[in-house]
Structure 1
């Protein structure tokens, strides 16, 4: 098996469909599926893997998970994923862009930040935020009495995605929302640790990053805005989220960069400037480090 640290691993990205949920793909999988046979790869989007039957081993980063019926693995952008060891397991993979959860109407469109919210600020994505903190949160289990319901929903999503009858995109969006609500509820015991005295402060930090990521922004700037020392803020954010303030600033900028690369024909240099990188070369280097491809190659791989 290829080393998981290999820099030029394939990067898989769900394509925008144009009018409905942005970049939602529903793929049934087993050991013979192309994605499984591909071996180690990265994703440019969020992905959940639902195992309906059988058992095997799935790998995220350096961690191996023994999976069986009812298990759900959550994959965040840039994480190395290798499902080649799933053996006799079967199920469905749902890959989607966080923009699939954004609904913009005439009233909402006028509010600053409506379409640019941090993806981790959406409560439906809490399990994916937790997945970024470590292997403990990457693995959830659908209760036994809900598994038939999940299998039926996955089959319906697969059918809508395959047949594409009028209204299929709206149906997919609705079923995706229901699925993510379930996941958020399954993850509630793990998420409880975030819901105490520090949550309001974290919300302020994320709100500030959301508003100011296109500008020069440092940990000290964020700390000053929330009346804390940089050292204390760094410690708090790392303890609560597993990442640093600078990690979150970079993640927000990269989320905005991916959206611009997918939805505009702006040059890479222009995209870098729009998302807060004064040096396009540094932007490209950071993008490649996180996504495994340069911005230009990532855009081409996404089919734009």
Structure 2
């Protein structure tokens, strides 16, 4: 039976094939007019890369005119209309489909803590996220998709690991497209989120709480909490921790300062508490992380 959202929008389910990785890839050609499709949602993540411009996509009720190099991330539950005929023929590119559970396995990586990608792990927001690959990087992006497609088709020894590796590289590349978090959130018409993350960025190395951020943006803690949780799938406190963990990993990688100093530089007054939080997020202590070369 076809599942539907509360408003009646049909939800397309990912078809898991026994024994195969839960990742699918497909190529779509430029100049081919897509069939008219009614609004629908997925129970899986869709990562789109448009090599060419043309056409439009409507997600969450918001239209987007496709430009060369555009990247679109559509997460479970987001409503999408695949093609808007009024905007002409669609450009060529690639689609990758995968259930979000694929990203809940394996070692932690910095791309997981990026606000624009948090929905990959922690839920969805109302509209899809759009980024753009600079012209000089588009060939590499196309090669990533081609390599993923080849592994899925040929199924050589070790292909399951290779598939997840190629997917991870694509997601890391996607995260790096949005390295300026505040700018990207402003571009996506999210001024409150931009202000919240700007304050976290400026003050994560100091004592910082939800009340401090709410005061800085001029809203109640309850309003800030609800908005951030609904839009990103994580709480303000979780984002503060994630930013501090990213800074800690960088210090562990690039310096030899004592763990106590790493804690102090990332907003922790108690090194023991810092170690507990780090272990909770990474499965090991900061010292072991540094020694193992994970940093």
* TM-score, structure 1 normalization: 0.54
Q: Over aligned residues, Cα RMSD in angstroms? A: 4.4
C-alpha displacement of 1:101: 2.5
Q: Determine the structure 2 residue equivalent to 1:189.
A: 180
Greater RCO, CA 8 A, separation 6+ = 1
C-alpha displacement of 1:38: 4.1
Q: Kindly indicate whether residue 38 of structure 2 is the aligned counterpart of residue 46 of structure 1.
A: no
Q: Determine the structure 2 residue equivalent to 1:68.
A: 67
* TM-score, structure 2 normalization: 0.55
Query: Is the Cα–Cα contact under 8 Å of residues 119 and 233 in structure 2 kept in the other structure?
Result: no
Q: Determine the structure 1 residue equivalent to 2:113.
A: 123
1:30/1:125 CA distance change after superposition, 3 Å: farther
In the aligned structure 2, how far is the partner of 1:178 from the partner of 1:93?
15
What pairs with 1:140-219 in structure 2 (closer than 5 Å)? 140-190=131-181, 193=194, 194=197, 195-196=200-201
In the aligned structure 2, how far is the partner of 1:55 from the partner of 1:32?
8
C-alpha displacement of 1:18: 3.8
1:18/1:37 CA distance change after superposition, 3 Å: farther
Structure 2: which 5+ runs fail to align?
184-193, 212-218, 237-295
C-alpha displacement of 1:100: 1.6
Which of residues 83, 86, 89 in structure 2 aligns to 1:87?
A: 89
Q: Determine the structure 1 residue equivalent to 2:103.
A: 101
SS at match of 2:168: helix
Q: Deviations over 1:225-269 (max 9, x none)?
A: xxxxxx944212244455498999xxxxxxxxxxxxxxxxxxxxx
Q: Determine the structure 2 residue equivalent to 1:12.
A: 13
User: Number of residues paired by the alignment?
Assistant: 205
Query: Is the Cα–Cα contact under 8 Å of residues 50 and 70 in structure 2 kept in the other structure?
Result: yes
Structure 1: which 5+ runs fail to align?
105-113, 206-222, 224-230, 249-304
C-alpha displacement of 1:167: 2.0
C-alpha displacement of 1:129: 3.4
1:158/1:165 CA distance change after superposition, 3 Å: same
